């Protein structure tokens, strides 16, 4: 058992996957010589040579390359530097990757991975701080994961690379330097299984990505008032672990759904609707939705803090649900 940074855990997964399977290769902007802007691919160029390649700045082309390479039997892992640039990849995802399996039946599989990172809180401004989770989670045929802990970062990336279908890995820029224990034998984490980050009985805080960290802080505050909050880390955004959500809501009867994407038509709305569809009679209060305000992410720290949800906002939402 070793203490690892989140970025190191991702690096370990890439190293392990590339060692085990020669068809795995990495490409993206500054991933090779520079080791990735967040240093996730540090040292891999030295270890694996041409299997780690720098590319020009052209996300639309890169995504199409990932689709095409996977069709030939390779397992490409593409890094898109910021989730804000994911819209440039959408044609390859919506019109190619997600439909080829359907159009050609079982004749082809598309075992590629796109890693990207989103989220705010580091003063990166309106074009480098968004979480566009719903853009990719919306598309049938894609799988989407969002690890929070270093152990899950390694486990979910390993599972994503091994999966025969396209998987989008949503990392978070504020998680790269977080440290936690990662078991030496940490293997793939099954896709589609949520994790109870904290057991509780009064209200369910159902969160994704770094919002899980804020939800845990909110749970600490609620505990000071004698409120027992359960924190559910979804881990996989698609396919959704509906059973885990229903189990938690049936227990607590109160739900707060939390996602760092925008609220309107956002991923949190999907969670809210899912609860309504599957657990309506368990609800003792309307589902509370916590999401980023419907506006560009401000550069100024004070404004950014006001726009992106935090433990305060989650705590307030939980108290409203319990009112």
Partner 1 sequence: MTTPTGTEDGRMATVITVGAAAGAYMDTVVVLEWRVAPGDAVRAGQVVAVVETAKAATEVEAPRDGVLSAILAEVGAEIAIASPLGLIGDDADATLATAIQPAEGATPTAPATPDGTARRADAPRSTSGEAWTDRIIASPAARRHAETVGLDLQAVVGTGPGGRIKVRDVTAALRGRDEVLSELAPDPLPEFVPAAVTEAAHPLAVTRSGPDTGTPILLLHGFAGDVTAWHAIERRLARTHPVVRLDLPCHGRSPRQRFRSFRDFIRPVLDTVDALKAGPMHVVGHSLGGAVALTLAERRPNLVRSLALLSPVGLGTEIDNHVLEGLCRAARPESLTPWLRRLVVDPACISDAYARAAMVAREDPDLRASQRALAASLFPDGTQSINVTPLLRRVTMPIRLVWGRADELVPWRHALAAPGRVALHLLPAVGHLPHLEVPDTVTQIIRDMIVCAGSGNRMADRGGVP
Binding site for partner 1 (CB under 8 A): 253, 263, 280-286, 288-294, 309, 312-313, 316-317, 320, 323
Backbone phi and psi for residue 147, each to the nearest 5 degrees, phi listed first: -70, 150
Q: Which is nearer to partner 1, 46 or 284 (CB)?
A: 284
Q: How many CA atoms are closer than 13 Å to the CA of 259, on its beta-carbon side?
A: 26
Q: Give the H/E segment covering residue 229.
A: strand 229-233
Q: Identify whether 224 is a catalytic site residue.
A: no
> What span, in angstroms and rounded, lies between the C-alpha atoms of 208 and 215?
9
Of the candidates 244, 280, 276, 273, the one whose C-alpha atom is nearest the C-alpha of residue 259 is 273
Given 128, 171, 254, 260, the catalytic residue:
128
Q: Which is nearer to partner 1, 138 or 293 (CB)?
A: 293
Given 59, 216, 230, 270, the catalytic residue:
59
Cα–chain-centroid distance for residue 80? 14
Most distant pair of Cα atoms in the chain: their distance: 59
Of the candidates 74, 134, 140, 59, the one whose C-alpha atom is nearest the C-alpha of residue 108 is 74
Q: Which is nearer to partner 1, 88 or 246 (CB)?
A: 246
Q: Identify whether 59 is a catalytic site residue.
A: yes
> What span, in angstroms and rounded, lies between the C-alpha atoms of 308 and 86?
20
Residue 92, C-beta contacts closer than 8 angstroms, at least 6 positions apart: 60, 63, 64, 66, 67
Identify the DSSP state of 294: S
Structure tokens at 51: 């299997």
Q: Rounded to the nearest whole angstrom, what is the least distance from the CB of residue 262 to partner 1 in the complex?
A: 10
Q: Rounded to the nearest whole angstrom, what is the least distance from the CB of residue 316 to partner 1 in the complex?
A: 6
Of the candidates 215, 113, 121, the one whose C-alpha atom is nearest the C-alpha of residue 173 is 121
Q: Which is nearer to partner 1, 64 or 283 (CB)?
A: 283
Q: Check if the beta carbon of residue 168 is closer than 8 Å to that of residue 136.
A: yes
Q: Rounded to the nearest whole angstrom, what is the least distance from the CB of residue 321 to partner 1 in the complex?
A: 10
Alpha-carbon distances, residue 34 vs 30, 44, 126, 142 (angstroms): 5, 10, 25, 29
Q: Which is nearer to partner 1, 104 or 280 (CB)?
A: 280
Q: Rounded to the nearest whole angstrom, what is the least distance from the CB of residue 274 to partner 1 in the complex?
A: 15
Cis bond before residue 97 (omega within 30° of 0): no
Residue with tokens 């995802």: 93
> What span, in angstroms and rounded, lies between the C-alpha atoms of 125 and 140?
30
Q: Which is nearer to partner 1, 175 or 321 (CB)?
A: 321
Q: Which is nearer to partner 1, 15 or 278 (CB)?
A: 278
Q: Which residues are the active-site residues?
A: 59, 128
């Amino acid at each position: 058992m070793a203490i690892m940074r989140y970025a190191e855990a991702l690096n370990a997964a890439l190293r392990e996957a590339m060692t085990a399977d020669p068809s795995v290769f990495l490409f993206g902007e500054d991933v090779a010589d520079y080791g990735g802007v967040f240093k996730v691919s540090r040292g891999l160029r030295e270890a694996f040579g041409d299997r780690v390649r720098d590319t020009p700045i052209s996300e639309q082309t890169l995504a199409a390359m990932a689709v095409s390479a996977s069709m030939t039997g390779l397992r490409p892992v593409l890094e898109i530097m910021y989730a804000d640039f994911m819209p440039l990849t959408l044609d390859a995802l919506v019109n190619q990757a997600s439909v080829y399996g359907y159009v050609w039946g079982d004749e082809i599989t598309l075992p590629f991975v796109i890693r990207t990172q989103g989220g705010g809180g580091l003063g990166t401004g309106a074009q480098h701080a968004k979480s566009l989770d719903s853009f990719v989670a919306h598309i049938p045929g894609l799988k989407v994961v969002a690890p929070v802990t270093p152990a899950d970062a390694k486990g979910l990336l390993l599972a994503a690379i091994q999966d025969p279908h396209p998987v989008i890995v949503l990392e978070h820029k504020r998680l790269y330097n977080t440290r936690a224990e990662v078991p030496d034998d940490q293997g793939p984490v099954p896709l589609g299984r949520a994790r109870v980050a904290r057991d509780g009985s009064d209200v369910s805080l159902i969160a994704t990505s770094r919002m899980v960290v804020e939800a845990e802080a909110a749970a600490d505050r609620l505990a000071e008032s004698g409120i027992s909050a359960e924190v559910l880390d979804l881990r996989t955004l698609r396919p959704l672990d509906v059973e885990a959500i229903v189990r938690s809501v049936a227990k607590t009867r109160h739900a707060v759904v939390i996602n760092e994407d925008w609220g309107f038509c956002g991923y949190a709305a999907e969670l809210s609707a899912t609860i309504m569809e599957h657990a309506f009679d368990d609800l003792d209060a309307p589902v509370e939705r916590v999401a980023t305000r419907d506006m560009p992410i401000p550069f100024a720290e004070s404004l950014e803090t006001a726009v992106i949800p935090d433990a305060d906002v989650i705590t307030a939402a939980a108290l409203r649900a319990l009112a």
